[in-house]
Amino acid sequence: MKTVVFSAVDATSRRRSVLWNALRPVLGRGAGVLSFFVAIFISFPSEAPPKTFAFEGDGWRAVETTDAEAEETDASLYALDENAEEAEEAENADYANDAEYEERQEYVDENEGYAEAETEDAYAETLATAEEDDGETGPFHRLRSFRRARSNRLFGSRFVDDAPEPPEVEPVEHVERVEAPKLTPVNDALPALDMDGRLDSNGTFVTRAELDALREEMSTMSWKKGDFRITPYGFLNLSMSADTQRAVPGEYILYAQTPDVDDSSDFTVDARTSRLGFKMEGPRVEQLNADLRGCLEFDFQGAYNGSKNKGGVQLRRAYAELVDAENQRRFLAGQDWEIISPLCPQMLNYLPGGFAGSLQYRRAQIRLEQGFTISKDFQTLAQIAVCDNILGDYTSTPGVSAATSGWPVIEGRYAVSLFKDARDGLPITLGVSGHIGEQYYKFSPIAGTFANTSERVAVDTWSANLDADIPLTEKLRLQGEYTVGANLSSFCGGINQGVDLYRRDALGASGGWLALHTDWTQKFATNVGYGIEKMDDDDLVGTSVAANGFTTSRTRNELYFVNFLYNWTPNFMTGVEFGYWQTQYQKADVTGETPVFTAMKPGEAFRTEFTARLTF
């Protein structure tokens, strides 16, 4: 066992030197600052009797000694100290002076990121003071070896004047990364009043900050062609559904089939709702003070070839638009959503609420929109469109020829946005909308029925609609619509019935829906709602070709639903939806001069649907 001893006496200068030499090998160079303060503390005179401190491998031990023994120990340690000083002087012979070290230290701080210049300056000032007061034998002199030893670790054993300069690095432009907002495109949502930029391309409500963040992120995924920036978007969608009563058409549901026709259940797995679109931003048209934009969008719910796993491409939207944001003006030409009844319930079903109270779909049009800001709490939006006249009935029925008239369909909407500022950015939006148009049908006689004449008739199509969007809180939103009209089949109304085959006139219908959306967290949301559509009993005789003198039709369609949506990431959502559909039917005997009606069993389907969606 190796034992090192020294004594603590009242001679201050000797005690500093002796204690410093003893602590330095124990604490190491990296703890020089700590040893410096320890040396100061124990250097003050003490009235305690002299002691000898012995290091015996497992720690220091203090043993009381006489003055004579302490003096003898101190003398031997001073001899060791002188040898250490000579070795130190030989080690530092290459350093001309401390100014040279300070120059090297500044290089360290500037180029290696060591923010210790102020600390080293403080050491240098303390060193100078100590040397002035105590001479070269004082304990502060030992700080030089600590400082130079640290420099050796950074530069090597020597300081070279002609060392190469570090290479220049080009500055890297700082790009702020913005997290993608949380979006929940859970349906074929329709564009609503968007004077505040609250809707994304799928009609899902977002904040202005989220919309700006989304645009920033999308700009990194786009490419340029001439003066146009093209940005792809869309989602990959899988829906798996089970129906206790067969649904029509099957992969999604519009109404439940009557058990009198088919009482079987149904199970489907479908990916054709997947969507691909392209947003285009073109050059600014200075003459019109407007930005040129465009959109092209497809899904795969078109007619398939042979089997449903060969989904046909279906055009959804294709338009160009001029947007004058300063004057709140927009001009659009192409195929886009209807102006009328712009909302829809947030469902997983492909046509959410369609034929159950929610008018919706897309058609070619020329549209003009003009917004007006009366105050922070009162804004208005006027929209008008000249639209294509789409036929919804009897396009392939034998004995019936359908054609459009010489008039387009005219659509219009007027909406107000109220209390935006008073309700902290949560305005109440109310709208009234409608359309009018005309279609031609040529009917041949239907043998064995009272409709036994040939006629060519003009059938009107019209609607009057109300829509309301009421955010109750930041996380709770109430939405709904009401509709009344005639010949609405091409607008997803009338339970897919627009014209009576026997009375040869438009079928009246009315209905609506109401839904409550709740954002429980940033990732978890729910929707619960109800929808209904009812035909005008006085108008309806039948919409199917009579078999054995009887024709059938749908008289009422109701929907109850609740869904649970979870966004695992801003781009991946899964959801499950539970729905109850009840569709009522009637059967009419049309062999006599007056039809005789008989009730049929209603179609009642409990539908469970699971959806996984990856949005890009």
pLDDT digits (tens, 9 = 90+) for 127-151: 454 444 444 444 434 333 433 333 3
- Percent with pLDDT over 90 in the chain: 56
267/285 Cα distance (integer angstroms):
52
Q: Using alpha carbons only, what angle is made at residue 222 by residues 216 and 223, rounded to the nearest 5 degrees?
A: 140
- Average predicted confidence (pLDDT) for the chain: 78
208-615, superfamily in CATH?
Porin (2.40.160.10)
pTM of the model: 0.66
**Mean pLDDT calculated for residue range 387-393:** 94
**Mean pLDDT calculated for residue range 148-175:** 44
Cβ atoms of 70 and 129 closer than 8 Å: no
CATH 2.40.160.10 region(s) of the chain?
208-615
pLDDT, residue 285, reads 95
More confident site: 424 or 102: 424
pLDDT, residue 554, reads 96
Give all strands (DSSP E) within 358-489, no chain letters.
362-375, 378-387, 400-404, 409-418, 428-443, 455-471, 476-486
CA distances from 69 to 15, 62, 64, 72, 258 (A): 15, 14, 10, 5, 115
Is the dihedral angle over the CA atoms 91, 93, 99, 105 positive or is it negative? negative
pLDDT, residue 81, reads 53
Asked which of 98-102, 270-274, 390-394, 601-605 is least confident by mean pLDDT, the reply is 98-102
Is the dihedral angle over the CA atoms 132, 136, 142, 144 positive or is it negative? positive
